[in-house]
Structure 1
């Protein structure tokens, strides 16, 4: 644990979503839920070659995600996605969410901390989950033109150093807070390195937690 931050500083508690508060990824299952199995499979076939390129390290994770979003979200009504996100949250909540994670979020809220999700998944998909949790949300933003998704991102994919940058854009200098953070993948390491109180795979079984290789900011 690093220094505890300024005396009397407000606590900012930041939770990753996929794999941290949830048992598995949420975005791809959402796409299958929203588009239906047949259409989902048809569109996923278009990602076969990009997937191979990613495995061969010829394409980055961010590039593959951008291709996924272009394939599924180009020309789709924002209102339709929002409705499907509401339905998906309601249908998947009990099986998707980790009970220990939900309790931890509730404990942070009860302590008086400022609590937010900070996720690489599209904010439009996670908004119903954040609303149900009663906390704020920072996620990857999808571009909307005249109420229709363009298939492009607004800004960068919210992972790695971009999580810290997005938090700073909203909350200012993070050194002014006591920052608590929960994460479970490489995309959370910069966030965890910035926190005075960092939790790596906190809700996973002991044998899967391991130790993150964190670098000082």
Structure 2
């Protein structure tokens, strides 16, 4: 038996109410990404590589830094013009030029990524800055963002199961404010799409009822 338009509309509306809970849930308690970094001797692109791991690596860091100092050194932005560590590719350079002009400043910034499989990497992002102080975040693929939330919403570097340790204000130069551990990618937001679909079904269902009524009237008139 074919479902009527009213039934179809009701089903779509029910889906709209249930799917947001499935698509928008954040993962649970964040891991201690900083401590994992400080203990691991297998961090890809590490700016402070060591042959040791665990307690030995922690002891090496403790001899030179407090935990707060190490986070500052790791996560603060640094001028690309003064650092050999900063090697922007052509996509990053083009994004900087588009935003700030060829004379605009460019800074490198590391964030610590903990991937879903447990591996760690120091990932380099970039901050372009205009003379008026306006700043823009750029990733290695040339993607541009106005801040952390925008980056988490739109980047293609991370998935929802990955975590990053980063300044809350990713465009601050050299860096200030809170350091946060958040997922590298925000969950998909299903609700607007599904409600749009449900609305379309309701409208189309109403149209179908009207058309069917017109056909019935015409058929009745012809029979008379």
For the superposition of Structure 1 and Structure 2, which TM-score range results when normalised by the shorter chain? under 0.3
What's the TM-score once normalised by structure 2's chain length?
0.24
Compare CA radii of gyration and give the structure with the larger one.
2
What's the TM-score once normalised by structure 1's chain length?
0.25
| Greater relative contact order (CA < 8 Å, ≥ 6 in sequence) | 1
